[in-house]
Amino acid sequence: TNIYINFLQKAFSERNLESTNVAIHVNGDTAWLVFDWTFTAKLSAGQPMASKGWESHVYRRTPRGWSLVALHYSVPPPQP
């Protein structure tokens, strides 16, 4: 919750994350999720921003349910 309160709420007055090409795989007590994303937002000072990228999550099944154990995201290289 600290990243949500200390960064997301303070940095952006508006934000939207759209996921596409979502794929979920489960193998026993391990699952992974991959997707493309488009993030659009307005900074707290009012400037618009946007970014695109790819994300992957790895989950482990525990006695209390699924737990996120790894997260990775990448963005495309800047245009020359």
Residues 16-52 have pLDDT tens digits of 999 999 999 999 999 999 999 999 999 888 899 999 9
Q: Provide the 8-state DSSP code for 29.
A: T
Per-chain mean pLDDT for the chain: 92
Report the C-alpha gap between 8 and 26 in whole angstroms: 30
Report the C-alpha gap between 60 and 11 in whole angstroms: 31
55 contacts: CB under 8 Å, gap ≥ 6: 34, 35, 36, 37, 71, 72, 73, 74
Domain locations in the chain? 2-74
pLDDT score of 13 more than 90: no
Name the nearest CA neighbour of 59 among 34, 26, 37, 32. 32
Q: How many percent of the chain have pLDDT more than 70?
A: 94
The CATH number fitting domain 2-74, selected from 3.30.200.20, 3.30.910.10, 3.10.450.50, 3.40.50.2020: 3.10.450.50
Q: What is the pTM of this model?
A: 0.77
